[in-house]
Structure 1
Amino acid sequence: MPETFWTVRWPDGTEEQLYSPSSVVTELFEPGTRYPVPDFLHRSRMAMQSASNRVKARYGHPCSLAMGQLDRIEQRVAGLDPEGAPVTCLKITQ
């Protein structure tokens, strides 16, 4: 369950490094790919829930860091136009 970071460019041009306690993000995001906001949010929810479940299976409790990251993603996405510019995955590192 290697910690994984992925860097995204938000529609306003800012870049942010996001965290996952698991490499599951590599299954859902591809560097260089642009995701419509609703798709990005859906993939993020799947990734963070899956990562948290993997931690729970291994350690007996869900991952608060994964769920905290999801909260921050949801807050950021809440202010975006779903039909507007996409979110771009720039890179994924482990």
Structure 2
Amino acid sequence: MPVVRFDVMWPDATVMKCQSPSTVIRNFLHEGQLVSLPEFLKISELGLSAASERVREKYGFACSAAIDQLEIILAKATDFQGWEAAVVQVIRMD
């Protein structure tokens, strides 16, 4: 399956390099997209879960890398608890 790499800019302007094991993530995230932190977490969970499921459909097992990526995103998001109006931007997808 083709891997999709994407970079996100967190509310503190740090950039995180991420990846999805499936192009299905493009149905959820788009380059230039700017969303609230809670919405980004929701979208990331939906997109990476869908990507993991695509792997399951093709190979018979879920993709642990997609779940690991989601856990990394969720862990980083804890840095911004209490930030009002925190937003995340998808700055690159390829």
TM-score, L = length of structure 2: 0.92
| 1:87 has 2:92 as partner | no
How far off is 1:59 after superposition?
0.6
Name structure 2 gaps, 5 residues minimum: none
Report the count of equivalent residues: 93
The answer to whether the 8 A contact 1:7-1:90 is kept is: yes
Match of 2:16, SS state, is strand
| Match runs of 1:54-93 below 5 Å | 54-80=54-80, 81=82, 83-93=84-94
Q: For structure 1, which segment, 81-90 or 37-46, has the greater mean C-alpha deviation from structure 2 after superposition?
A: 81-90
The answer to whether the 8 A contact 1:6-1:92 is kept is: yes
- Cα root mean square deviation, aligned: 1.2
Which residue is 1:33 aligned to? 33
Q: Structure 1 CA distance, aligned partners of 2:43 and 2:86?
A: 17
Q: Structure 1 CA distance, aligned partners of 2:52 and 2:58?
A: 10
Q: Structure 1 CA distance, aligned partners of 2:60 and 2:27?
A: 24
The answer to whether the 8 A contact 1:37-1:86 is kept is: yes
Q: Structure 2 CA distance, aligned partners of 1:47 and 1:60?
A: 19
The answer to whether the 8 A contact 1:8-1:87 is kept is: yes
How far off is 1:32 after superposition?
1.2
Give the fraction of aligned pairs with identical amino acids, expressed as a percent: 33
Q: Structure 2 CA distance, aligned partners of 1:82 and 1:12?
A: 10
Name structure 1 gaps, 5 residues minimum: none
Match of 2:23, SS state, is coil
